[in-house]
Amino acid sequence: MKIILKEYLASLRERGDLDKSVLPNLLSEIGLRVLNTPMIGTRQNGVDIAAVGKIKGEDKQRYLYLFCIKAGNISRSDWSTGIQAVRPELDEIRDVYLRSNIAREYADLPIKICLCCGGELEETALMNWAGYTDRYTTEKVSYEEWNGDRLADLMMRSLLARELLDEDPRRNFQKAVAMVNEPNACYEYARAFLGNLLSEEHCTDKDQLLRLRQSFICLHAVIAWAIEAENLESTYKVSELGMLFCWNTIRKRKQKKRPTKHDESLMFVLDQFLKLYLTASEMYFQKTAYTHGRTPHALSVAVRSRESVDVNLAMFELLGRLAMRGIWTDLFSRGLPEADPDFSKSLAESTKHTLDTMVSVINSNPTLSSPIRDDHMIEIALVMYLAQLTQSESRFLPWLKSISYRTTFALIINSQYPTCLRDYADLLAHPENSDQSYLDEACVGSILYPYVYFWMQYMANEKETTEFTERLKKKIPNCTHQAWFPDEDSDDLIWCGETYHGICVTDVSPHDGHEALVDTLNKAIETCTAISEISAIKAGLVPLFLTACRHYRLPIPPNFWLLER
């Protein structure tokens, strides 16, 4: 276990990984109070993290800890010059930070300046470090080296100790790390150790926070190893999963008029899970859609399969992920303009870039106009939801119109029309024949056709609408057209993957006309009000609920089909 942790720590970057993700959690757990974490674009005066307190089992008095953090190993060439230069930052701590940055309440505390790195201080730099610390150590100021071995020891002792991390989550975590080259296996083991760590039995505030921190550290380690193995599919899937499991734990806290320190700590951990997801998704798209989205068929060919089904499934998966990232960045860009205008602007630009990429991906890969699974309605609805958030519906209506034509035309010619069958073998064989009995089985129900028909009033003329409904009536007259709403049990079940909950509204057939469809949906929205009690929606985190719907293949409720302005 320690070897895994040391390798993981050595692979971390300074900015965004070691200093913002791992070390703050570790310091909090060993008994220190973190005073500040690094911010991009601000002067640090040599100190990446400041903390105060006593380390459990080590310190007999309180210290002010000042951390200078570097990535990987530190060699002699890193001592005075280069990106990782150590001495200039140590000098800046001594000459600037100690003179002007220490708050009055901590001015009388002894100080420990810690050179922290995920790797080790190489032999060639040890003499420089020894000479420097010997020269500048005083009664009040001392120096410590916190290398990967020291950090791994602290993690084993406080976060991942054998008596704290039970055998089951420890074993599943190690298996997830070992299987980072196999996305599905890695995902299942990650799901297993998250389920073990965040089970219902750990209910005290202190225990809850510890388990969340353990989950984050373990998940971060899995993702770091997946990046090392150049398997970004694993990084995306487990980061999204971690975000959902984290919220499932946090949502159970009792609401109080004034947030406590515990509440703030929980939200800090959630923020880290969200940032981990955004970082993993950014890396994933930089290698896929952002780079190759404009090249015709490039992404389809990259699936490397002769089966059109594989290409279709992969491309809709990619499109749904793109839409979800855009929805998240749009939310954050609207929520941060005053707190951090520069970051807010970069997020808004990221949303625009994602929208442009989605348009390019759709135009460059025609398979996206011919969904083979009926539940591809989820991806289509997410794209249109993002389009409405950004007032860019007109860019996607031609695509939606193409879907309305191709899906019904596929029914007429009996060629890979959307089916509610999900088993891969069934999809490969689809359609097995043109018998009406098979059509009735393959299209026993549909969430796709009602959604597409709902939008036809905004994108199609009367002739096209009539043709759409007549084809459905002719080929699949027995199909149950339906929509899904959460119920009172959904908030307790959706975050960990339970799908047997919710309310199915079946009277939404395109055969009855658009006015009847809208009337039925409006009445259902008025009646099925449990969605307003979904914890993430009450907290203003609508994308979290939509992420759960996409991740666990639940339909997007009609509440998100058309936004009021």
pLDDT in the model for residue 73: 87
Lookup result for tokens 């891969």: 424
pLDDT, tens only, 455-492:
999 999 999 999 999 999 999 999 999 999 999 999 99
pLDDT at 36: 82
Whole-number Å distance between alpha carbons of 144 and 147? 10
Q: Which of 16, 62, 26 is nearest to 151 (CA)?
A: 26
CATH architecture of residue range(s) 1-159: 3-Layer(aba) Sandwich (3.40)
Q: Are strands 503-505 and 483-485 parallel, antiparallel or unpaired?
A: antiparallel
What distance in Å separates the CA atoms of residue 473 and residue 468, rounded to the nearest whole number? 9
Q: Mean pLDDT across the stretch 35-63?
A: 82
Model pLDDT for residues 61-76, shown as the tens digit of each residue:
999 999 998 888 888 8
| Sign of the torsion angle spanned by Cα atoms 97, 99, 105, 109 | positive
What is the DSSP secondary structure assignment for residue 419, as one 8-state letter?
B
pTM: 0.82
- Sorted by where each begins, the domain ranges of the chain are 1-159, 160-287, 288-560
Whether the pLDDT of residue 253 is over 80: the answer is: no
Given this model, what pLDDT does residue 277 score? 94
Q: Assign 272 a pLDDT band (cuts: 50, 70, 90).
A: confident
- Spatial neighbors of 417 by CB under 8 A, at least 6 apart, are 372, 407, 408, 410, 411, 431, 442, 443
> Residues, the chain, total?
565
